[in-house]
């Protein structure tokens, strides 16, 4: 299919044009599946979240105001759908304040496969917050809103995720 401008795709989707819906899905499916899988760490849950997320996209497309890029808007919807899949599995550890200036020493170059394996082995909550913050670029306030937690909890869990990830990477070497 030839490249179609995003505005035309959105117009078609708003008219329930199946080709436009397919074009929108095809344009974003890979990136959004990757996001979904990083959060859920499960192929079935990632596929379910992707499907449920895109249903929400099509259902609510008329509310997209263009204040951000369409991809950013879809990204947030898919992230919410993926978080919904793992919400019951997430248990946050104690909420001691974290020293924000603490830096992690990642030492030498890290093999990508080992890093992915270590990230996937993190507990649900740690992995979700680490993924949203470090990989997907969400801010702590956005994560707190998405996960219905405090900003402090998001920061604490990210700190603990990094510490655990660093320990796991030491074990692999």
Domain count, the chain: 2
The residue range of the domain holding 158 is: 112-172
CA R_g for the chain: 18
Cβ burial of 77 (10 Å; 0-12, 13-18, 19+) is buried
CA distances from 126 to 15, 29, 48, 154 (A): 41, 25, 21, 9
Choosing from 89, 121, 147, the residue where a domain stops is: 89
For residue 99, is it within any domain? Answer: no
For residue 118, is it within any domain? Answer: yes
> Are 60 and 15 in the same domain?
yes
Candidates 20, 159, 146, 167; CA nearest to 102 is 159
* Residue 95, pLDDT score: 46
> Are 80 and 138 in the same domain?
no
> Are 69 and 116 in the same domain?
no
* Residue 118, pLDDT score: 85
CATH number of residue 168's parent domain: 1.10.10.10
> Are 75 and 117 in the same domain?
no
For residue 97, is it within any domain? Answer: no
* Residue 90, pLDDT score: 63
For residue 98, is it within any domain? Answer: no
Choosing from 89, 120, 149, the residue where a domain stops is: 89
* pLDDT tens for the chain, residues 1 to 173: 445 688 889 999 999 999 999 999 999 999 999 999 988 989 999 999 999 999 999 999 999 887 888 998 999 999 999 988 887 666 555 444 444 444 555 555 566 777 788 888 888 889 889 989 988 888 999 998 888 889 999 999 999 999 888 888 877 65
- CA separation for the pair 144, 139 (Å, rounded): 9
State residue 20 phi and psi, 5-degree precision: -65, -40
> Are 84 and 138 in the same domain?
no
> Are 120 and 78 in the same domain?
no
- CA separation for the pair 97, 151 (Å, rounded): 11
CATH number of residue 24's parent domain: 1.10.1740.10
* Residue 168, pLDDT score: 82
Structure token pair of residue 31: 């990136």
């Amino acid at each position: 299919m030839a490249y179609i401008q995003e505005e035309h795709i959105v117009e078609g989707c708003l008219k329930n044009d199946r080709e436009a819906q397919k074009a929108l899905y095809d344009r974003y499916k890979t990136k959004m599946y990757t996001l979904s899988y990083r959060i859920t760490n499960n192929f079935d849950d990632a596929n379910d979240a992707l499907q449920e997320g895109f249903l929400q996209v099509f259902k609510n497309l008329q509310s997209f105001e263009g204040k951000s890029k369409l991809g950013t808007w879809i990204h947030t919807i898919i992230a919410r759908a993926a978080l919904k899949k793992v919400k019951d599995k997430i248990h946050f550890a104690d909420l001691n304040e974290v020293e924000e200036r603490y830096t992690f020493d990642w030492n030498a170059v890290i093999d990508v496969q080992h890093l992915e394996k270590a990230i996937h082995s993190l507990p649900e909550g740690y992995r979700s917050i680490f993924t949203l913050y470090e990989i997907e670029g969400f801010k702590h306030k956005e994560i707190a809103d998405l996960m219905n937690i405090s900003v402090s909890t998001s920061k604490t869990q990210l700190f603990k995720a990094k510490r655990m990830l660093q320990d796991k990477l030491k074990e692999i070497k």
